[in-house]
Every structure is written in C-alpha cells, then in structure tokens.
Amino acid sequence: DTAVSQTPKYLVTQMGNDKSIKCEQNLGHDTMYWYKQDSKKFLKIMFSYNNKELIINETVPNRFSPKSPDKAHLNLHINSLELGDSAVYFCASSQDTRVETQYFGPGTRLLVL
Amino acid sequence: QKEVEQDPGPLSVPEGAIVSLNCTYSNSAFQYFMWYRQYSRKGPELLMYTYSSGNKEDGRFTAQVDKSSKYISLFIRDSQPSDSATYLCAMSGNRGSTLGRLYFGRGTQLTVWP
C-alpha cells in the first residue's frame, strides 16, 4: 500500500511545453506539500495546502500552479517549461501542520530539454 | 547565509564505524528537528524526530539537539552498508514563517563499505 504516490515518475519534455504532475495520499492527512529538489540535493518547499486551501506559497514563478481537488490529491501544473525547471519534485503529506508526521512520495524526475 | 547548513560530504566509512552527521542553523525559532534518510532515486523517509533540546535514541541511531549552540547531530553506531544514503537534517518551528514547513539542510552523502 503506497502512502504517497506520484505520477509520472519520469518526465522528459521540451522547453516551452506545459506539463502536470499528480499526487495522491491514502493516509487520511489533511495537509499536502510540493517540494523541489535541485541537482545538488537541496530540498525546498514550494506550496502547501490544508483542507484544499493554499497556506504556503513560496517565491516560485507563477508558471507553477498547484491545484487540490480534494484533501487526498494535490496536483502541480507547470506552464512554459524552462531548462531551470529540471529537478526532482516531491509531494508530501502530514496531519495538520505537524511536520513530524510528514511523509514523502517517491518523486517525479523532470528533465526539460 | 542559508538557514540550515550541512556539510554535503561525501563521507565514506568502513562497516562498524560510528558515524557523526551534523547541521547548524541560524533561526532561533526552530523547535522541531528531524533527520531524514534518502536512498538514491527515492523520497526522503523520516528517521528521527526531536522536539527542542536533548537526546533521543532509536536502535543504532542517536539524535542530539543543542539549541544554545544551534547545532544538531545524528550518530549512527555499528554502521552497515545498508546505511549508505544521503542524510538530510530538517527543522521547523511553531510561529511565523517557520510554522508548518520544513527547512532542509543540503544533505550529507554517506557510504559504508564492507
């Protein structure tokens, strides 16, 4: 039983394209997150949603738009992809804002050519 | 200056060695301190969680937090090849911009050779 799942696992695309990454959690958590991990392994938060409401919105380009259709799902849509968007994107979930309960998904490896 | 500093290594030790991993931080609002282990091409998994200062032990792993020095450590005793991974420290607080989010160190890559 996968707690936090992401699709796709790998994404290779051309500059300028639009792509989406999907995340689902079956832990019954009510807070979900998107993190970006760069080539040097630095992991930084991008967004978080609590009960479908955006609560953290870091300084990311507005080409990135998260959407939470329900508590168990958080998707990330990226418009006009750029080379610098190449990274691993991790979804995570937690119970409320209790970060010590945060579980991470397996990651989506995005390569922009 | 990043909020959380961590030496990226790499660190290479023989099996059975004691490993010491460390992070320093600058934000005194941090109250929750975590260590994550990340295997290659996998997501981070929580290893240890400590609230405020003190020590916590779990099997071969010991986490220490010294808030006065803004310094945290993870010790691995009797290290095994299966411990080879990247270890990330992470921190959070209970007020302002530290609430509800994790601030990560860059991770230390550890290899334990047989």
Q: What is the mean pLDDT of chain A?
A: 92
**How far apart (Å, rounded) are the C-alpha atoms in residues B71 and B25?**
7
| Helices assigned H by DSSP within B38-86 | none
- Range name among A50-59, A73-82, B18-27, B58-67 with the lowest pLDDT average: A50-59
Is the distance from CB of A94 to CB of B92 less than 8 angstroms?
A: no
pLDDT of B96:
80
Burial A31-69 (b: 16+ CB within 10 A, else e): bbbbbbbeeebbbebbbbbbeeeeebeeebeeebebebe
Q: A86-104, pLDDT tens digit by residue?
A: 999 999 999 887 887 889 9
Burial B3-15 (b: 16+ CB within 10 A, else e): bbebeeeebebee
The per-residue pLDDT for B1 is: 57
Does the beta-carbon distance from A45 to B86 stay under 8 Å? no
- Is A89 in contact with A111 (CB distance < 8 Å)? no
Nearest CA in chain A to B6: A42
Give the helix ranges, DSSP H, for B6-47.
Answer: none
Say whether pLDDT at B47 is over 70. yes
pLDDT in tens, A32-85: 999 999 988 889 999 999 888 888 888 789 999 999 999 999 999 999 999 999
CA distance A17 to chain B (A): 25
More confident residue, A110 or B53: A110
Out of B43, B90, B109, the one facing A90 most closely (by C-beta) is B43
Whether A105 has its CB under 8 Å from any CB of chain B: the answer is: yes
